[in-house]
């Protein structure tokens, strides 16, 4: 039987993350957006929660707790309700670590997972997005040419979260007729890291570009070893995570607009009593709850090891469209207040626009 209720553990996670988002994320969100930077104090605080290390097996230095994709989607929604940039920053280490955990070889797990179990914030990065119009992350232009026992990587990547401090990059590339992901250390010869990039939204989250000019890596750099890895699953995990972030943002907009419409008086009555406003809020509610069902479905398929390609793309596509639509409606409902920095809706609007066009920047 299908249940749409949360388990006791999931409720505990939701409540804890909701409190953390309200106390530690929302109060500094505007400051981080204006400064285009997230304080190290926040990153260390988020690290202390064990969002990454708790789900790494004990043999690699983690706590060995069971990893649930659905629970992580709920967690990510709550963090993003505080702010999308800060939520993605808090989970940035999980993007690289979970890819190794899910599909890395035994040697790769031994080499890299302990890096994410220390006492201070540490992160790797996943590079899947490429510059240019209509680029598809599942069909990268970056290439990997075999050379004896090595590979030569060439290409360009963009929107790499925390590329400025990542110790390693997981770079997707075409390897003949197949796709692969290669672990590249930041000091690799031929790898140029540029940035930070100046983006419309998610300004607090530092992103960089990568110029990969005939970077040579050993055969042991191929994620999953000689058998390779399922790159589509890597993208499905990321797209489901992005959908959860957009869901949290959508909820933030809606929960800000409802009390605003009750307090804002026009023509001697709250604007919430105007049918055009009330119907708009109702449609925003429907879109938000529909997005949540799509996110949970994709996360559930991933959790059970089933093919989630269609579900993940549906969740991401719908979330991208509706989060932008909800944010736009938020601006319209606030009227002139929707365009000024006194209210956070204009920031959420910019974040929603940016989230709709990125890939590979968060994972569950």
- The pLDDT tens digits for 180-204 are 999 999 999 999 999 899 999 999 9
The pLDDT of residue 83 is: 98
Note the pLDDT of residue 360: 87
In this prediction, residue 136 carries a pLDDT of 85
Report residue 247 as tokens: 């869901």
Which residues have C-beta within 8 Å of that of residue 224, sequence separation ≥ 6? 103, 104, 105, 108, 181
For the stretch 120-158, pLDDT in tens is 999 999 999 999 877 788 899 999 999 999 999 999 999
Condensed to tens digits (0 to 9), the pLDDT of residues 73-127 reads 999 999 999 999 999 999 999 999 999 999 999 999 999 999 999 999 999 999 9
Q: How far is CA 335 from the centre of its chain?
A: 30
Per-residue pLDDT at 309: 96
Q: Give the residue-averaged pLDDT of 149-169.
A: 96
Q: Are 238 and 362 in contact (CB under 8 A)?
A: yes
Residue 2: its pLDDT value, please? 65
pLDDT higher than threshold 90 for residue 27: yes
pLDDT of residue 106: 96
Say how many C-beta atoms besides its own lie within 10 A of residue 11's C-beta. Answer: 12
Phi, psi angle pair for 31, to nearest 5°: -60, -40
Residue 293 neighbours by CB under 8 Å, 6+ apart: none
Rounded to 10 deg, the angle between the 231-263 and 309-334 helix axes is 20
If you average pLDDT over residues 51-70, what whole number do you get? Answer: 95
> What are the tokens at 50?
């064990």
Q: What is the reported pTM? A: 0.95
What does the pLDDT read at residue 315? 97
User: Average pLDDT, whole number, for the chain?
Assistant: 95
Whole-angstrom Cα distance, residue 118 to residue 61?
8
Contact 120, 47 (CB under 8 A): yes
**Are 364 and 69 contacting, i.e. CB atoms less than 8 angstroms apart?**
yes
Domains, the chain? 8-116 (1.10.540.10), 125-227 (2.40.110.10), 231-355 (1.20.140.10)
pLDDT in tens, 188-244: 999 999 989 999 999 999 999 999 999 999 999 999 999 999 999 999 999 999 999
- Alpha carbons within 13 A on the beta-carbon side of 119: 0
Q: How far apart are CA 351 and CA 363, in angstroms?
A: 18
Over range 307-336, report the average pLDDT: 96
User: How far is Cα 142 from Cα 215, in angstroms, rounded to an integer?
Assistant: 11
Q: Which of 319, 296, 304 has the alpha carbon at shortest distance from 233?
A: 304
268 pLDDT higher than 90: no
Distance CA(313)–CA(320), nearest Å, equals 10
Q: Which of 69-83, 127-141, 252-266, 307-321 has the lowest mean pLDDT?
A: 127-141
Q: What average pLDDT does range 335-342 have in this prediction?
A: 91
């Amino acid at each position: 039987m299908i249940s749409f209720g949360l388990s006791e553990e999931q409720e505990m996670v939701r409540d804890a993350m909701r409190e953390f988002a309200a106390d530690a994320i929302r109060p500094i969100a505007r400051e981080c957006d204006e400064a285009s930077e997230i304080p190290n104090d926040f990153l260390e605080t988020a690290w202390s929660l064990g969002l990454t290390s708790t789900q790494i097996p004990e043999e690699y230095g983690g706590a060995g707790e069971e990893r649930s994709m659905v629970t992580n989607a709920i967690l990510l929604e709550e963090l993003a309700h505080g702010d999308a940039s800060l939520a993605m920053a808090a989970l940035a280490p999980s993007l690289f670590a979970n890819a190794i955990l899910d599909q890395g070889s035994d040697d790769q797990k031994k080499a890299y997972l302990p890096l994410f179990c220390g006492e201070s914030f540490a992160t790797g990065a996943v590079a899947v997005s490429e510059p240019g119009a209509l680029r598809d992350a599942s069909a990268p232009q970056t290439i990997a040419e075999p050379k004896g026992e090595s590979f030569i990587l060439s290409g360009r990547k963009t929107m790499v979260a925390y590329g400025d401090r990542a110790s390693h990059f997981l770079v997707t590339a075409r390897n003949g007729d197949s796709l692969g992901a290669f672990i590249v250390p930041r000091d690799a010869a031929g790898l140029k890291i540029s940035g930070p990039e100046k983006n419309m939204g998610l300004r607090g989250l530092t992103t960089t570009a990568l110029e990969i000019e005939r970077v040579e890596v050993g055969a042991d750099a191929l994620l999953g070893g000689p058998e390779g890895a399922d790159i589509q699953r890597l993208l499905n995990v990321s797209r489901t995570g992005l959908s959860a972030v957009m869901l949290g943002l959508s909820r933030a907009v809606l929960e800000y607009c409802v009390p605003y419409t009750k307090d804002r008086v026009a023509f001697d009555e709250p604007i919430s009593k105007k049918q055009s406003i009330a119907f708009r809020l109702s449609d925003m509610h429907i879109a938000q709850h529909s997005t949540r069902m799509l996110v949970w479905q994709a996360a559930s398929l991933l959790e059970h090891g089933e093919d989630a390609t269609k579900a993940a793309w549906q969740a991401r596509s719908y979330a991208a469209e509706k989060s932008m639509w909800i944010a736009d409606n938020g601006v319209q409902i606030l009227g002139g207040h929707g365009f000024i920095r006194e209210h956070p809706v204009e920031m959420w609007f910019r974040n929603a626009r940016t989230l709709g066009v990125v890939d590979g920047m968060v994972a569950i």
